Chain A
Amino acid sequence: MSNVQIELTGVDKHYGQFHALKDINLSIEKGTFVALVGPSGCGKSTLLRSLAGLETITGGTMKIAGEVMNDVPPRKRDVAMVFQSYALYPHMRVAENLTYSLRLKGTPKEQALAAAEEVARTTGLSHLLGRFPRELSGGQRQRVAMGRAIIRHPKAFLFDEPLSNLDAALRVHMRKEIRALHDRLGATSVYVTHDQVEAMTMADRVVVMRDGVIEQEGAPLELYDKPASRFVAGFIGSPAMNFVPAMISEDGQAVLLDLPDAPRLPIGRALEPGRRVSAGLRPEHLTVTNAETAALRLPVGVVESTGSMTYISSGTDPEITVVIHGRSPLSAGEVMGLTIAPENVHLFDVESERVI
């Protein structure tokens, strides 16, 4: 028996003229936590809703636990979904919210109630079972929404930006909680978010989408280290990667940036001389060194410090951002020298935006 829980082959979705999902191929193994990320309108939510059965796909096949689900209504798919707005039933108490799906299945009352108490214990809701959703805080509502999904032991959990309505501190906390829950239940989870930090920290696999297409799929650090396209490189990592138009040098061993004095950065391999490329430099890979000897010398524009980290932006066009740990003696108007290891220089094709 294969270990694939969710399998999408050539999935297409049209809304009238609009092509929302284009030939999506994705297989998700049992027990993995997959994050779908991308800017708004990239199709990630549409894909999730298609998995839930709330949207019907117009082409391809969608399998959950080996069964083709293309035309199966949501109630027969055995997946649980956590909505961005939580979608708790306002006229039902917490206990009734939790047991709603069980009652629909015809589970005896005592058994359903016992299950609700069990779930309430694991999610820390035991003292709230008799309350209405409007009497709960944002974090508690979030937990009820989670509990409602957990109680069913579904084939897959679908999360639609569940943390975006929480404040920053709670979000970080719930991030860990959801991940811990996933591990404890051994569940298969698909998690939609526009926040790449959430995706990176929570997921086993990250799927980056844009304009209805999967740009790249892989482990979080794989995406960070080896982005397949300029889009993925810019999307993953914070602050975002610096992109500088550049040209391969005459000996093919380095790249000449389109900045004043055409700084030369070695790339550790040989490429076709004279080729136009886009060079990607992560802010955290650039290190400040002696301005006299460094290959890359830039005027300092703005220095922002958060205490533990300092963000330095150059006063050039395109702007280069550098992140350094601790404090920096640099101030605006000075010249800083920068170096970067050859393996950390990412090069992208100007036309196709794919990595070189």
Chain B
Amino acid sequence: MTRPWTQWVLLAVALAMAAVYLFPLYWMYVTSLKTNSEIFANPPSFWPADPQFAIYPGVWARRSMSTFLWNSTIIAAGVTAVTVILGTGCAYVLARYRNAWVDVGLFCILMLQVLPASVMITPLFVGFNQVGLLGSPRLAVILASAAKAMPFFVVLVRATFMSVPRELEEAALVDGNSRVGAFFTIVLPLARNGILVCAILTFMSAFGEYIYSKSIIQDPRFQPASVGLSGFLGPNSSDWNAIMAYSAIYVTPILAVFVLLQRRIVSGLTSGALK
């Protein structure tokens, strides 16, 4: 009896929540197009009266955004590569073997997830400094962020591997394949979707990484876009439309990828990527 009624209420709640979460995004795009006086107008306007599209090329050139975005891409790609290559093997082992050592390993990995980046950065900085890694700061950030991304990746990909029936692997063994061969020709192709989805999520979170980059990379030539954005925020600056334009340029590619792949991401996370 109450079902249609409850459905509408839940839908309304969902829409309200979505609006709360998406409003800043909308405000970012709108503000970036406003003139300086319109930004501070009271009451605020929800649509720019006179859109200033010239702000985008202006900010792009003025803030050398091509360098920042390129650095972000390099760091995100590096983090994803390290995480996928090491994490996939790790997840497979944790999925296929069950004993006390595996439980200990899994526990340690989950503990890694608990430690926040802001706690880890000081010891990491000191350690990297001693081994001379600060000379190649982007590599240092890649290593630090990959360690941070690893637990999440391993736990999710492990679940994907567990959904691949063991019998398939056994069939491959009896059919004449080795364990390694069975992994590459049977298990890996079947877990591909799940791994892909986790890799995309890893890439996107590494693309927005801030704490490690800000602390480790001093030279602006190597800084990613997230650090570059903070350069706007001086004690006296109020260049809001430029900040918003910068953010829009930074966020839009990620958003586009997410929208394009969202069906795959959702199904990959829920179905275990089989079939």
Chain A residues within CB distance 8 Å of chain B: 52-54, 73-75, 77, 79-81, 83-85, 87, 89-91, 100-101, 104-105, 134, 148, 152, 158
Is A91 touching B173 in the complex (CB atoms < 8 A)? no
| Interface status of B178 (Cβ within 8 A of chain A) | yes
With a cutoff of 8 Å between Cβ atoms, the chain B residues found around residue A74 in the complex are 170, 173-174
A-B contact pairs, 29 of them (CB 8 A): A53-B173, A54-B170, A54-B174, A73-B173, A74-B170, A74-B173, A75-B173, A75-B175, A75-B176, A75-B177, A77-B174, A79-B174, A81-B170, A81-B174, A83-B170, A83-B171, A87-B167, A87-B171, A90-B190, A90-B274, A90-B275, A100-B172, A100-B175, A101-B175, A104-B175, A104-B177, A105-B176, A148-B175, A152-B176
The residue in chain A whose Cβ has the minimal distance to the Cβ of B274 is: A90
Chain A hits for B175, CB < 8 A: 75, 80, 100-101, 104, 148, 152
Q: Verify if B165 is at the interface (C-beta below 8 Å from A).
A: yes
Q: Which residues of B contact A79 (CB under 8 A)?
A: 174
B271 to chain A, nearest CB (A): 13
**B residues near A, CB below 8 A?**
165, 167-168, 170-178, 181, 186, 189-190, 274-275
How long is the Cα–Cα vector from A277 to B172 in the complex, in angstroms? 51
Evaluate contact between A73 and B168: CB separation under 8 angstroms. Answer: no
Residue of B nearest to A83 (CB): B167
In the complex, besides A74-B173, A105-B176, A148-B175, 20 extra interface pairs with C-beta distance below 8 angstroms are: A52-B170, A52-B174, A75-B173, A77-B174, A81-B170, A83-B167, A84-B167, A85-B167, A87-B171, A89-B171, A89-B186, A90-B168, A90-B275, A91-B189, A91-B190, A104-B176, A104-B177, A104-B181, A148-B171, A152-B176
- Most central of A73, A87, A100 by chain B CB within 10 Å: A87
Question: Contacts of B170 on A, CB cut-off 8 Å?
Answer: 52, 54, 74, 81, 83, 87
A87–B165 contact, CB under 8 A?
A: yes
| Most chain A C-beta atoms within 10 Å of own C-beta, residue among B170, B178, B274 | B170
> In the bound complex, do residue B174 and residue A53 qualify as a contact, i.e. CB atoms below 8 Å apart?
yes
Contacts A83-B167, A85-B165 hold; do A73 and B174 have CB atoms under 8 A apart? no
Chain B residues with CB under 8 A of A75: 173-178
In the complex, what residue of chain B is closest to A80 when comparing beta carbons?
B174
For residue B189, which residues in chain A have a CB less than 8 angstroms away from its CB? 91
| Chain A proximity of B204: nearest CB distance (Å) | 27
7 A-B pairs with least C-beta separation: A87-B171, A101-B175, A87-B167, A74-B173, A104-B176, A75-B176, A81-B174
Q: Which residues of A contact B172 (CB under 8 A)?
A: 89, 100
Please name all residues of chain A whose beta carbon is closer than 8 Å to the beta carbon of B181 when the two chains form the complex. Answer: 104
Taking CB atoms, residues of chain B closer than 8 Å to A83 are 167, 170-171
Contact (Cβ within 8 A) A134 B275: yes
- Tell me the bound Cα distance from A160 to B147 in angstroms: 44
Q: Which residues of A contact B178 (CB under 8 A)?
A: 73, 75
Least distance between A182 CB and chain B CB atoms (Å): 18
Which residues on the B side are within 8 Å of A91 (C-beta)? 189-190
Q: How far is the CB of B96 from chain A (nearest CB, A)?
A: 13
Residues of chain A lying within 8 A (CB to CB) of residue B165: 85, 87
Q: What residues on A are CB-neighbors of B168 within 8 Å?
A: 87, 89-90
CB neighbours of B173 from chain A (8 A): 53-54, 73-75
Q: How far is the CA of A134 from the CA of B176 in the complex (A)?
A: 24
Residues of B within 8 A of A84 (CB): 167
Find chain B residues with CB under 8 A from A52 CB.
Answer: 170, 174
Q: Nearest-CB distance from A203 to chain B (Å)?
A: 22
- In the complex the two chains form, what is the Cα distance from A64 to B168 in whole Å? 24
Q: Which residues of A contact B275 (CB under 8 A)?
A: 90, 134
In the complex, what distance in Å separates the CA atom of A88 from the CA atom of B171? 8
Select from chain B the residue with minimum beta-carbon distance to A79.
B174
Residues of B within 8 A of A104 (CB): 175-177, 181
- Determine the distance from Cα of A152 to Cα of B171 in the docked complex, in whole angstroms: 13
Q: What is the bound-complex CA distance between A73 and B181, given in angstroms? A: 13
Which A residue's beta carbon lies closest to that of B170?
Answer: A54
Closest to B171 in A: A87
Q: Given the complex, which residues of A lie within 8 Å of B190, measured CB to CB?
A: 90-91
B171 to chain A, nearest CB (A): 4
Output the least CB separation between B227 and chain A (Å).
Answer: 42
